[in-house]
Each structure stands twice: as C-alpha cells, then as structure tokens.
Amino acid sequence: MFRSAAALVFLVSGLPVKAEPPLPAGISEVAVVGAVQSPGVVQVKQGGRISDVLNAVRPDAAAYLLGGSLQREHERQDQVRQRAGLLHTLGQLPQHEDLDVRAAGDLLHDWLDAHPATGRVRLVLDRRLMQVQPLNNPIARQGDSIIIPLRPQTVHVIGAVTQPCELPHQPLQDAKTYLAHCPTSGAADPDTLYVVQPDGLVQALGVAAWNRADPQAVAAGGTIYVPIRESALKRIDASFNEDFASFVATQPVDP
C-alpha cells in the first residue's frame, strides 16, 4: 500500500504544474486555520490589518484567542538561527561530567527535534481589542498565517524533569504547584522557574527562599520550563535557559 502511494506521488510530481495567476497589485494573502467559521486564504488590500483578516474568518465562540498564533516568514528565519544556537549548546552536554545534566540535555534535544521554528509573533488575536489598539493590530503581510486553537485542557512541564509532563489545567494554580506532579531532576536550577503563557509571554520566577516571587498562575495551554542549573551552563552558554524559554514561546498552543 505504501509503495503504491509513493509511486502515485512520484507520478503526480512528474506532471506539469499549472502556474498560479499572480496576485493583483496591492493584495496580500493570509492563510487561516483552526476554530473559525470560514477557514482558508483571505485576500487583504494594501494597508489591511490582521483584525480585518479575523473579521473575514469569524473566530468561533469556542476559539481560544489567548493562544492564537500569527506566524511570519521573517520571524521564522530569526527563530531558525535561534534554534540552531540552542542545538549547538545541547550538543555539548553529552560530555558534561554531571549525568543529570546530560539527561536533561537529551530531553531538551528531543523536544527541539519535535518543534521547528514557526515564525510566531507575540500577539493576542482578539479582533475587537485590536481595533481599538492600533499598535497591537499589525498590517497583514503576504505569506502570513494564523492558527486559532480551541481551548486546551492541559499545562506542559519540560526541562530539567525526570520526564516531560502533560498535566490537567487547574484554574489559578501556581506554577510551582504543578511540579509536585512532575518531579524535577538533579539538574534543575533551585532558584528560577520559567512560565511561558499561551500568548507567548515569558515569565522568570524566583522559587528559592531568598528570591521567591508571588504565586503565578499558568493559563490553559501554557508551558512550565524547568531550567538547568546556572552553574552547570555558565562556561558553555550563560543565556541558554532564557533563550530556550523564549523559543518555547514561539510554538503554537496545542488545542
């Protein structure tokens, strides 16, 4: 069956492809998928805003706008470089003298393998709010894409843990409380925790006695990143944990 399918793809790929007609001048196309009433490609006139695209597709009542993603090619290229830098650092951890640090590096390497650069821009895709806040309502660009998920029911925990966890979301539950159900490893930084909210906001929280921050709830679809302790990375890449958390923020929210 798979051979037949592969042969069919090969034959189809050998056929001449009909060229798409060029877009009219001053028109941009934005692709929209997810919890909207009219998914597909939206054509926007020059100067049109992202809120105009959202008005055209009409997000469903069940749409989780806090986790919506606007993705752009220019930002994706920057994130490709960021991801390559993270992989370079992780490539040095298998030689680390601490076995827990090696194991944490393996888990983070696996996570990066499963999460490519997306080009996500931090933006809450609430069309009504955008219309009254022009600075948060960018002009639509050719090649933009938008993902509108349904509301997730979980929170993810990754990083210096014994195994990554997907835990039921509990309204207003503190980020640190989730760790009682997802044990950290010996590589975990004892002083800091990162929370990546579903809108892409990254929050660094003090969790030690000397720097403890106020309780921080994690919204549905958020990710808690347990960093590798700073002393283990200082000579390799002092900004690794901050950079990793910011890359997590580029990922679309799982519905």
Do 120 and 250 contact (CB within 8 A), yes or no? Answer: yes
**Does residue 159 surpass a pLDDT of 70?**
yes
Which CATH number characterizes residue 219's domain? 3.10.560.10
- pLDDT band, residue 222 (cuts 50/70/90): very high
User: Would you say residue 26 lies in a domain?
Assistant: no
Among residues 242, 240, 235, 193, the alpha carbon closest in space to that of 218 is found at: 193
Is the pTM above the cut of 0.85?
yes
- 223-226 vs 165-168, strand pairing mode: unpaired
User: Would you say residue 8 lies in a domain?
Assistant: no
pLDDT tens track for 79-123: 999 999 999 999 999 999 999 999 999 999 999 999 999 999 999
User: Would you say residue 33 lies in a domain?
Assistant: no
User: Would you say residue 150 lies in a domain?
Assistant: yes
**Domain, as residue range, for 165:** 73-248
**Does residue 6 surpass a pLDDT of 50?**
no
Structure-token match 């990754």, residue found = 158
User: Would you say residue 39 lies in a domain?
Assistant: no
- pLDDT band, residue 26 (cuts 50/70/90): confident
User: Would you say residue 48 lies in a domain?
Assistant: no
User: Would you say residue 126 lies in a domain?
Assistant: yes
User: Would you say residue 17 lies in a domain?
Assistant: no
- The two structure tokens encoding residue 233: 């990375």
How many separate domains does the chain show?
Answer: 1
- pLDDT band, residue 254 (cuts 50/70/90): confident
**Of 8-17, 109-118, 145-154, 210-219, minimum mean pLDDT range:** 8-17
Average pLDDT score over the chain: 91
